[in-house]
Amino acid sequence: MKDTLRPGLTGRLEYLVPDGRTVPHLLPESKEFGALPDVLATGYLVGIVEWACMRALAGHLDDGEATLGVHIDISHDAPTPPGTLVTVDVELIRVEGRQLKFSVQARDDDAVISRGTHGRAVIDLRRFQARLLARVTRTERLS
């Protein structure tokens, strides 16, 4: 991690909600999701929040590092139909070792649609991939 990775770092992501990011598309094999309205799915909202945080970190990580989401605590307060522009603003509010915490807020033209916090962990990609491979190999041996 670079020494520029410190609280106060901000970022913004604008995302135009496409038809395929609505509740019925979240898990197409689910009849229950399929019967719900065509509005931005909370699961996709989480992904958009994560993306905004990752973008805010661009240039602040060392080569071979990345971040993974480890905690999410956000509301989903208003429905957002396809074709609507969502703006996500994030601010890094805490750095504790490799643990990062962001304050997040998302809005569209009509309302604040989400607010809360998101935690990410800085990882060394090679070490993470090695641990993942060991886990996959162990699982395959048990099958």
Which domain CATH number covers 97?
3.10.129.10
Answer whether 0.85 is exceeded by the pTM: yes
What per-residue confidence (pLDDT) applies to 138? 67
Q: Is 50 helix (H, G, I), strand (E, B) or coil?
A: helix
4 is catalytic: no
Whether 3 maps to a domain, the answer reads: no
Active site residue 80: no
Contact of 93 with 100, CB cutoff 8 Å: no
Q: What is the pLDDT along the chain (143 residues), one digit of tens a residue?
A: 999 999 999 999 999 999 999 999 999 999 999 999 999 999 999 999 999 999 999 999 999 999 999 999 999 999 999 999 999 999 999 999 999 999 999 999 999 999 999 999 999 999 999 999 888 876 666 76
Look at residue 2 and tell me if it is in a domain: no
Tokens of 142: 């048990």
> What is the per-residue pLDDT for 136?
80
Residue 43 lies in a domain: yes
**Annotated catalytic residue 50:** yes
What's the domain range around 103?
10-142
Q: Are strands 112-124 and 65-74 parallel, antiparallel or unpaired?
A: antiparallel
